[in-house]
Chain A
Amino acid sequence: MASEDETKTKKPEARAIAGAADEIEVRGHIVDSLLLPKILDRILQMGGTFEIHECRIGVKRTDPSYARIGIRAESPELLAEILGDLVEHGASPVNLEDARVAAADVASAFPEDFYSTTNQRTQVRSKGLWIDVEDQEMDCGIALDVEAGRARCIPMVHVTLGTPIVVGHAGVRVIPEERPRETSLFGFMNSNVSSEKPKAVSLQSVADGIRATRAAGKKVLLVGGPAIVHTGSAPHVARLIREGWIQTLFAGNALATHDVEQSLYGTSLGVSIAKGESIEHGHEHHLRAINTIRRLGSLKAAVEKGVVTSGIMYECVKNGTDFVLAGSIRDDGPLPDVITDVLEAQDRMRAASREVGFALCIATALHSIATGNLLPAWVKVVCVDINPATVTKLADRGSFQTIGIVTDVEPFLRSLAVELTADREAAGR
Chain B
Amino acid sequence: MTDAAPRILMCPPDHFGIEYEINPWMNVRQGADPARASAQWLALEATLLDLGVEVDRLAPAPGLPDLVFTANAGLVHRRTFIVSRFRFGVRQGETPHFEAWARGRGFEVVSPPEGMNFEGAGDALFCGETLFAGYRFRSDVRSHQWVGERLGVEVLPMELVDPRYYHLDTCFCPIAPDAALYYPGAFDEYGRSVIRARIPTLIEVRAEEAQSFSCNAVVVGRTVMLNRGAPRLAEDLERLGYATRPLDLSEFIKSGGSAKCLTLRIDGEEAAAWKAGGAGGSP
Contacts and interface: CB of A to CB of B under 8 A. Distances in A.
Contact of A38 (B153, B190, B197): B190
Contacts of A9: none
Contact of A90 (B129, B141, B152, B194): B141
Contacts of A90: 140-142, 145, 157
Contacts of A35: 141, 157, 190
B154 A29 contact: yes
Contacts of A92: 142
Contacts of A38: 159, 190
B154 A32 contact: yes
A38 B153 CA distance: 22
Chain A's interface: helix, strand, loop or mixed, by majority? loop
Nearest to B133: A33
A62 interface: yes
A35 B197 CA distance: 14
Contact of A89 (B148, B159, B197): B159
Interface string A7-29: 00000000000000000000111
Interface-centre pick from A27, A28, A33, A35 (highest chain B CB count, 10 A) = A33
A94 to B, nearest CB: 15
B157 A62 contact: no
Contact of B190 (A27, A37, A61): A37
Contacts, number: 56
A61 B154 contact: yes
Interface string A27-57: 1110011110110000000000000000000
A64 interface: yes
Contact of A28 (B130, B149, B197, B198): B149
A34 B194 contact: yes
Most buried by B among A29, A37, A88: A29
B190 A29 contact: no
A33 B188 CA distance: 12
A28 to B, nearest CB: 3
A245 to B, nearest CB: 53
Contacts of A32: 154, 156, 194, 197-198
B226 interface: no
Contact of A33 (B129, B142, B156): B156
Nearest to A32: B156
Counting chain A residues whose Cβ lies within 8 A of the other chain, the interface size class is 10 to 19
A90 B190 CA distance: 15
B206 interface: no
Interface string B10-27: 000000000000000000
Contacts of B129: 61
B136 interface: yes
B2 interface: no
B82 interface: no
Contacts of A89: 141, 159
A29 B155 contact: yes
Contacts of B249: none
Given A32-B198, A33-B158, A62 B153 contact: yes
Interface string A381-420: 0000000000000000000000000000000000000000
Interface in B95-148: 129-130, 136, 140-142, 144-145, 148
A90 B136 CA distance: 10
Contacts of B153: 62
B47 interface: no
Contacts of B142: 28, 90, 92
A64 B149 contact: yes
B193 A34 contact: yes
A89 B155 CA distance: 14
Contacts of B148: 28-29, 62, 64
B156 A29 contact: yes
Contacts of B156: 29, 32-33
B71 to A, nearest CB: 22
Interface string A121-151: 0000000000000000000000000000000
B78 to A, nearest CB: 15
A33 B152 contact: no
5 pairs of A and B residues whose beta carbons are closest in the complex:
A28-B145, A90-B141, A33-B156, A34-B190, A61-B154
Interface of B: 129-130, 136, 140-142, 144-145, 148-149, 152-159, 190-191, 193-194, 197-198
30 contacts: A27-B145, A28-B141, A28-B142, A28-B148, A28-B149, A28-B155, A29-B145, A29-B148, A29-B157, A32-B154, A32-B156, A32-B194, A32-B197, A33-B155, A33-B157, A33-B158, A34-B190, A34-B194, A35-B157, A38-B190, A61-B130, A61-B154, A62-B148, A62-B152, A62-B154, A89-B141, A89-B159, A90-B140, A90-B141, A90-B157
